[in-house]
Amino acid sequence: MAETYNLEELGITPCGRVHRNLTVDEYYELAVVTDNCKTAQTGALVAFSGDKTGRSPADKRVVEQDSTKADVWWGNINKPISDAGFTVNHQSAIAHISSCENIYIVDGFIGWDPDSRIKARVICTRAYHALFMHNMMIRPTADELAAFGQPDWHIFNAGQAESDPNNDTVSSTTSVCLDFERQEQVILGTDYAGEMKKGMFTVMNYILPKRGISSMHCSANESLDGKDVALFFGLSGTGKTTLSADPNRALIGDDEHGWDSKGIFNFEGGCYAKMIDLSQEGEPQIWNAIRKGTVLENVILDADGAADYSDTSITENTRGAYPVEFIDNAKIPCVGDHPTNVIFLTCDAFGVMPPVSRLNAAQAQYHFISGYTAKVAGTEVGVTEPEPMFSACFGGPFLVWHPFKYAELLAEACDKHNASVWLINTGWSGGAYGVGKRFSLKYTRAIVTAILNGSLDDAEFIDEPYFGLAIPTTCNEVPKEMLNPKATWADQDAYDAQAKKLGGLFAKNFEKYAEGCSDDVRAAGPNI
């Protein structure tokens, strides 16, 4: 009789084969045969997610329960579903999984710190989904797998089955639900693999703050001697991946971390990188990671089997998932000491924010909660001038608590371990987009170097008038006149008007968070 790994205890009655923690070769063989996957020239597995080529945040639901009701920051990010509504979705997932010819079980850890990690079990019906989570979770050793026991969390991925749009608060045939009491995630109506990864990030964003541990959407690296750890926060387009992928520093992780009493730790065993316009020259570390074992999602291959990273015919959100050890300078285990520097990255297309500024504790929390960057004209249909983008804590869609809880925990950790907090603008200088110029990557790298080697601490600082930011008057290898944004504008009055405009946008955005924040954080916003 075939092994079913006690799936019956979960209500699953397999009608086909059950596979647990397969090898990469085994996943490949099944993915090509059953999932219509292909193999690229580099050896990477190429998979397609169907109609859904990105996350479905409008379809995310959290079960509303007495035990969690007071904890969850309810609203557009965390929409409630009843216990009964979740049960309907759960039963639909169980029924679909039971009916499939192949069922995959993947066991792994979330979190490199043994004291803070959780054990997760993925149950899915697509081989590429299983390989994706094999890459993204921390892979147990043979001994750890043998002693794995019962998981802390289950992920039921039945993405090929639709949810009932008439069920409770579910509004479409797609539903991604989390139940913090049952410790389950249920996915229906989407095959986009990132839903599993981000679901577990959301779980950690609930569990760790409850324990007084900072949970963060950021990358992290450290000096080769291990004495200097840096965190990089930033939304898409700010340069987070580029600036943290430093060949002269060891990569701890590219996306999700915790900060506890021992230091920082990566949540994941892999990296999840955007593939759009990937080039060997621009991002050599990621380029070299695209090999056998990597999952490419929605990437187009040419007739010779070579990936065309410029092809957006399916989506611009093409992705690659690979084990962190595929990065040459990755640090294994993915843990580090307490950070010395915390860097917030913004791409300010308004041309107002300084290239670099140092933040006090209240400002750090304000700008962390704001999570600002900007879209530029031409990037999206209808965008004709710079538009602000705000994502709380640089990861709004994955928060569970009110943003102030995450900001407060980060500020406490920075204060306790003497970490400096910096705001770097990788956007425009000398005017807004269309008038000014993008701040040189060469100069941004020089700023990051000056932060990490401590030389910027010795600079003289002046106060910027609108946001109250402390601006250094000098920085090695950066022209002095470029450090003060107003000085780079030909029309000083135009700068003042633009600064007031952006400050007003900050203030308007912060209104939705103000009630849950302390007085000093509320007062740390722009002076307009």
Active-site annotation, residues: 55, 198, 217, 236, 240-241, 255, 319
The three-class DSSP label of residue 159 is coil
Distance CA 276, CA 382 (A): 21
CA atoms lying within 13 Å on the CB side of residue 382? 0
Distance CA 526, CA 528 (A): 6
- Reading across the β-sheet that carries 249-253, which strands appear in turn? 249-253, 219-223, 229-234, 341-346, 420-425, 356-359, 470-472, 461-463
Check residue 3 and report its DSSP letter: -
Distance CA 158, CA 165 (A): 16
CB 81 within 8 A of CB 62: yes
Distance CA 259, CA 368 (A): 16
CA atoms lying within 13 Å on the CB side of residue 231? 33
Distant-in-sequence, close-in-space partners of 189: CB < 8 Å, separation ≥ 6: 52, 56, 59, 159, 161, 162, 163, 172, 173, 174, 175
Radius of gyration of the chain (CA): 23
